[in-house]
């Protein structure tokens, strides 16, 4: 269009931009009529869902983000709307931006736990890398096997870790406890506790006697950090750590 406004001929323009003369003519005519090179929106096939149907689909997905498209189809069929599951999925993705994702699995956290974790983060927000290099992190984790029927969740992009879009995991009696630790330098390996072990203060002390002193020395750490499980904060454990002059991070 710039060359056309400068009164170049269609032939010269086609040679300049390396396209056919017909392509130049069609582009100029389309731009003069529509003000754009893009094709006009076509009417296409009439939409099968009404605004009311679309409202039901969106409301169901927002209220129950782990509902299947087939369930929403059943709701519409019961109301007399003849729509397919594919149509429902297309409305969710194309019109409402609610694509189906596998829900993130995160441990269940109570409001009190959230307050404590936020307080810890604010307390140590200004720690330097050198300070964190002195910390040995220990964790006892429970590995369990169970399934959930909710394989997908409808959610907007960027909302993966919002509470209503995740599958919460909880402790289960049938499990195996694993002890592990790490520092900035390296990991301390994983050690499986005997099956059926129920951790308490004294058992935790026995575990620390066997693992802590060795790995703190190997990793050249002076500060010990563990999670806030009740058995880890018991008087027995606290007394043992004080007797060994181990500095803890709370």
Report pLDDT digits (tens) over 130-141.
999 989 888 887
The pLDDT value recorded for residue 171 is 55
CA angle (163 as vertex; 157, 164 as ends), nearest 5: 75
- Does the structure show a pLDDT above 70 at 14? yes
- Helix, strand, coil in percent for the chain, rounding step 5: 45, 15, 40
The pLDDT value recorded for residue 172 is 54
Token couple for 89: 């999925």
- What is 92-141 written as a DSSP string? IIIIT--EEEPPPEEE---HHHHHHHHHHHHHTTT--HHHHTTEEEEEEE
Token couple for 117: 């974790």
Reading phi first (left if > 0) and then psi (alpha if -120 to 50, else beta), residue 44 is in left
Q: Are the CB atoms for 100 and 154 separated by under 8 Å?
A: yes
Task: Say which residues have a Cβ less than 8 Å from residue 120's Cβ, sequence separation at least 6.
Answer: 250
From residue 11, alpha-carbon distances to 14, 24, 26, 33 in Å are 5, 8, 13, 21
157-204 pLDDT tens trace: 888 888 888 877 765 556 788 888 888 888 887 888 887 777 888 888
Q: Are the CB atoms for 195 and 201 separated by under 8 Å?
A: no
Q: Are the CB atoms for 150 and 66 separated by under 8 Å?
A: yes
Stretch 98-111: mean pLDDT, rounded? 86
52 Cα distance to chain centroid: 32
The pLDDT value recorded for residue 185 is 80
Q: What's the whole-number average pLDDT of the chain?
A: 84
22-67 pLDDT tens trace: 999 988 888 888 888 777 777 777 888 899 999 999 999 999 888 8
CA angle (227 as vertex; 223, 229 as ends), nearest 5: 135
List, as own/partner pairs, every contact residues 26-34 make where C-beta atoms lie below 8 angstroms and the sequence separation is at least 24, other chains included: 27/1, 28/1, 28/4, 31/1
- Does the structure show a pLDDT above 80 at 143? no
Nearest to 159 by CA among 101, 91, 96, 88: 101
Q: How far apart are CA 181 and CA 138, in angstroms?
A: 4
The pLDDT value recorded for residue 147 is 52
Q: How far apart are CA 209 and CA 205, in angstroms?
A: 6
- Torsions phi, psi for 147 (to 5 deg): -120, 160
- Does the structure show a pLDDT above 90 at 108? no
- Does the structure show a pLDDT above 90 at 250? no
């Amino acid at each position: 269009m710039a060359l056309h406004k400068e009164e170049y001929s269609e032939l010269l323009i086609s040679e300049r931009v390396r396209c056919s003369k017909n392509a130049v003519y069609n582009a100029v005519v389309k731009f003069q009529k529509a003000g754009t090179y893009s094709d006009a929106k076509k009417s296409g096939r009439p939409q099968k869902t009404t605004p009311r149907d679309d409202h039901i689909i969106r409301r169901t997905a927002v209220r129950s983000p782990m509902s299947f498209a087939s369930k929403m189809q059943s709701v519409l069929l019961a109301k007399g709307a003849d729509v397919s599951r594919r149509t429902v999925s297309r409305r969710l993705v194309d019109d409402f931006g609610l694509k189906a994702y596998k829900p993130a699995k995160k441990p269940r956290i109570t409001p009190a736990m959230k307050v404590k974790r936020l307080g810890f983060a604010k307390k140590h927000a200004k720690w330097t890398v050198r300070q964190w290099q002195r910390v040995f992190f220990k964790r006892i984790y429970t590995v369990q096997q169970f399934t959930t029927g909710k394989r997908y969740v409808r959610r907007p992009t960027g909302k993966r870790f919002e509470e209503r879009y995740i599958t919460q995991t909880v402790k289960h009696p049938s499990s195996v406890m694993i002890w592990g630790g790490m520092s900035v330098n390296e990991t301390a390996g994983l050690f499986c506790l005997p099956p059926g072990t129920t951790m308490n203060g004294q058992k935790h002390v026995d575990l620390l006697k066997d693992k802590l002193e060795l790995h703190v020395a190997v990793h050249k750490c002076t500060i010990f950090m563990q999670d806030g499980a009740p058995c880890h904060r018991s008087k027995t454990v606290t007394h043992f750590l004080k007797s060994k002059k181990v500095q803890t991070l709370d």
